[in-house]
Amino acid sequence: MTEESKKMYQKIRTFLTVYMPKQRGLSKCTIMSYKQTINQFLLFVTETRKIRYEEVCFQDWSATMINKYLVYLEQERLVSASTRNQRLFAIRAFLKYASLSNPELMSLSMEAAGIAVAKEVKEPVAFLSEVAMEVLLKQPDATKKSGLRDMCFMVTMYDTAARDCEMLKLKVSSLDLNSSCPKIRLDGKGNKVRYVPLMKKTVQHLRRYLNVYHAEVERDDWLFYTVSHGKRNQMSDDNVARFLKKYSALAKSECDEVPERVTPHQFRHSRAMHLYRNGMPLQLLAEYMGHASVVSTQIYAYADVEMKRIALEKCQRKAENEGDELPEWQMNEEMIKKLYGLA
């Protein structure tokens, strides 16, 4: 490894292990997101330039390379504008930090700061129907070890409405399966901890998973992991994206309601929407989701056009039965969206 490369990796280490947690006081979830962005960018550089990991240095953090990476995210990874911007912000933050003690890096930091932020189009909450989710969760072959892991990850993510980063941070010690009310500990945004009850079937799946993946229980082990060179490593969001892509394609062939692309956050949105439709009050749903305010949870109430449609149809049927004069406008989704501020 060259001195230039060593200098870069040392800066990355202090950025992730000292500056962000101790000086900025950022949450583990945020730090993990930044770490994954840097890892992904470095891998992109090695593949683009056809060089080894240990050969990457600060010169590779040019605006040209960063723009190529952002295009790769948009066109090949098909990420949203929001995710693309988050990756850019992480790169900017690292370069700004590195330039504070290395003035020669100031030009790289300024170039990154000048890269345009993508315009984010506010879209309706994307969620799967209960039928589509059921089909999706059945896709992993749980008779195979990797299939069992993938199935348990997906089932747990849906049951708890956990964020992707919360799932990846789970340890064996996060589970409490033996109490009268089995639950899981989730470390959320801003280092906020919440406990979420687990459904009976999820507990059964997790017990089976622990018997296979954690026969010798080490409570500080990652709950979901990959193995490389005989060592257990924390699962990454890239691992999750790969198996979700595979299973969503299989599910799509069985059920048209499954979208072309399924993301981890759609599991969270789907669980929230299904609970809301089945009568969970917004205040309780906010606590379940780990929202600081019920205002964040109201997106599910605003987004559920179908529930509004059903309510309006009931009103229309009642008017028909009572012989009242019906309004002249036609019932359609566009009209409903306009009525409820969604258009």
Q: What percent of the chain has pLDDT over 70?
A: 82
The predicted-structure confidence for 48-107, as pLDDT tens digits, reads as follows: 999 988 899 999 999 999 999 999 999 888 888 888 999 999 999 999 999 998 889 999
CB atoms within 10 A of CB 4: 12
Mean pLDDT of 141-170: 92
Distance CA 40, CA 33 (A): 11
| pLDDT-above-90 percentage for the chain | 45
Q: Which domains does the chain have, with CATH numbers?
A: 3-113 (1.10.150), 130-261 (1.10.443.10), 304-339 (no CATH)
Residue-averaged pLDDT of the chain:
83
65 neighbors 48 (Cβ within 8 angstroms): yes
Give the tens place of pLDDT for each residue, 93-152: 999 999 998 889 999 999 999 999 988 766 556 788 889 999 999 999 999 999 999 999
Tell me the pTM: 0.60
Phi, psi of 31 (to 5 degrees): -65, -40
Contact by Cβ (8 Å): 21, 31: yes
Read off the tokens for 209: 């998973």
DSSP string, 124-187: PPP---HHHHHHHHT-S-TTSHHHHHHHHHHHHHHHHT--HHHHHT-BGGGEE-SSSS-EEEEE
Dump pLDDT digits (tens) for 208-231. Answer: 999 999 988 678 899 999 988 888
**How far is residue 11 from each of residues 4, 22, 38, measured CA to CA in Å?**
11, 15, 12
Residue 208: closest CA among 155, 159, 152, 161: 152
Distance CA 335, CA 320 (A): 20
**Other CB atoms within 10 A of residue 140 CB:** 22
19 three-state secondary structure:
helix
Quick check: 159 and 271 in contact, CB under 8 A?
yes
- When pLDDT is averaged across residues 14-25 and rounded to a whole number, the result is 91
pLDDT at 223: 94
Radius of gyration of the chain (CA): 23
